């Protein structure tokens, strides 16, 4: 097993390893942060987000939009899939985001021979105590970086399903809670690359968003050659927020108001994907929940405490495209998932008030 530990396993994971399931403070049974966690004023929220984005942008040149979306997914309590060819900064983005937060970070290098227990952990017999003890795997961290996730078999990929959806690990009939914030940032090479395995639909649906890094523009590439020759840009990255800050930021996002009109707009987008003639599989109910959560985070990043239809539209391509399965007619017509999402957004009408009602 090729596992690089970036930080020690968090205390709740150690307690779980001692043989008990641990519920971290501020954690609801479904892994979401409880509403009684302190919130930040929007000014403080915006300032903290600015520090995180500034730190990321000092490392990843010319990818401000990717950095913002990664932060959006973190604040919306989702998971991020970064897909592109090797060498464009997928893992660097994941590592940089993790280093800006004072939390535990583990990295897993997915390979064809990686086993599910290499990810979740395993029970080992202790001869001195004459009992089995659970040894937590690298998934017990606040941020888990899954490098080249589609190089592992489907059996190993599926080991993340319970972790991502329920924020817990079940081994030998016992469940162990994962401490919030918990985020999986997985990278994958395009499936046309040799030696890769497509992610199952069930696992793709658990990633809130997918982004493609793309090549940097010439100016950003020149800056990279100028500044990153002798040392790694990660060497100078320091945490700019703590775990308590992130929990408060997440609670702030949860408090963002969504009007009935915006909820109806979200449902109509989902129904349009299910009825589209070029799609075999449209957006699931889980996809619409995650679309709304991402939109709430996007609104908070813009300094608003309410969601606009524009927020839904802004995150729709990243949240929906990787979940849609194209029909053969779409391939023949030269259509792709992002284009279909864009056409749906252009047709679905918006009506009603989006602002929070006056008290």
Question: Which of these CATH numbers, 3.40.50.300, 3.30.565.10, 3.40.1180.10, 3.30.930.10, describes 3-249?
Answer: 3.40.50.300
Which pLDDT score is estimated for 69? 96
Strands 105-109 and 131-136: unpaired
- Asked if residue 17 lies in contact with residue 135, where contact means CB atoms within 8 angstroms, the answer is yes
pLDDT in the model for residue 39: 86
For domain 256-347, the question of CATH label 3.65.10.10 is answered with no
Q: Which residues of the chain have pLDDT under 70?
A: 1-37, 191-193, 358-359
Q: Residue ranges of the domains in the chain?
A: 3-249, 256-347
Q: What is the pLDDT of residues 45-92, one digit of tens each?
A: 999 999 999 999 888 888 899 999 999 999 999 999 998 888 888 888
Q: What is the pLDDT of residue 226?
A: 82
Alpha-carbon gap, residue 176 to 117, rounded angstroms: 14
Report the C-alpha gap between 161 and 149 in whole angstroms.
13
Q: Are the C-beta atoms of residues 170 and 16 closer than 8 Å to each other?
A: no
- Among residues 8, 240, 9, 247, the alpha carbon closest in space to that of 102 is found at 240
Residue 351 is predicted with a pLDDT of: 76
pTM of the model: 0.84
Cα separation of the two ends of the chain: 57
268-310 pLDDT, tens digit per residue, is 999 999 999 999 999 999 999 999 999 999 999 999 999 999 9
């Amino acid at each position: 097993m090729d596992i690089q530990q970036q930080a020690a396993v968090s205390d709740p994971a150690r307690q779980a390893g001692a043989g008990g399931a641990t519920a971290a403070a501020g954690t609801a049974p479904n892994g979401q942060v409880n509403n009684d966690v302190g919130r930040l004023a929007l000014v403080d929220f915006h300032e903290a987000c600015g520090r995180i984005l500034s730190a990321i942008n000092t490392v990843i040149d010319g990818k401000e939009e990717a950095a913002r979306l990664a932060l959006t997914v973190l604040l919306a309590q989702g998971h991020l899939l970064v897909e592109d060819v090797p060498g464009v900064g997928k893992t660097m983005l994941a590592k940089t985001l993790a280093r800006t937060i004072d939390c535990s970070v583990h990295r897993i290098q997915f390979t064809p021979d990686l086993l599910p227990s290499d990810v979740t952990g395993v029970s080992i017999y202790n001869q001195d105590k004459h009992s089995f003890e659970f040894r937590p795997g690298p998934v017990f961290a606040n941020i888990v970086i899954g490098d080249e996730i589609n190089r592992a078999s489907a059996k190993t990929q599926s080991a993340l399903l319970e972790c991502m959806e329920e924020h817990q690990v079940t081994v030998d009939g016992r469940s162990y809670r994962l401490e919030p914030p918990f985020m999986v940032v997985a990278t994958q090479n395009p499936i046309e690359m040799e030696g890769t395995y497509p992610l199952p639909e069930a696992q793709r649906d658990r990633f809130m968003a997918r982004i493609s890094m793309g090549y940097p523009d010439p100016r950003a590439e020149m800056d990279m050659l100028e500044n990153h020759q002798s040392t790694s840009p990660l060497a100078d990255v320091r945490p700019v927020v703590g775990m308590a800050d992130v929990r408060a930021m997440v609670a702030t996002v949860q408090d963002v108001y969504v009007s009935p009109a915006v909820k109806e707009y979200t449902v109509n987008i989902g129904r349009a994907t299910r009825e589209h003639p070029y799609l075999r599989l449209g957006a699931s109910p889980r996809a619409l929940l995650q679309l709304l959560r991402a939109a709430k985070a996007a609104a908070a990043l813009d300094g608003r405490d309410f969601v606009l239809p524009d927020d839904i539209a802004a995150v729709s391509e990243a949240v929906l495209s990787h979940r849609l399965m194209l029909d053969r007619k779409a391939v023949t017509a030269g259509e792709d998932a992002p284009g279909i999402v864009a056409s749906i957004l252009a047709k679905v009408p918006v009506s009603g008030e989006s602002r929070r009602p006056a008290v």
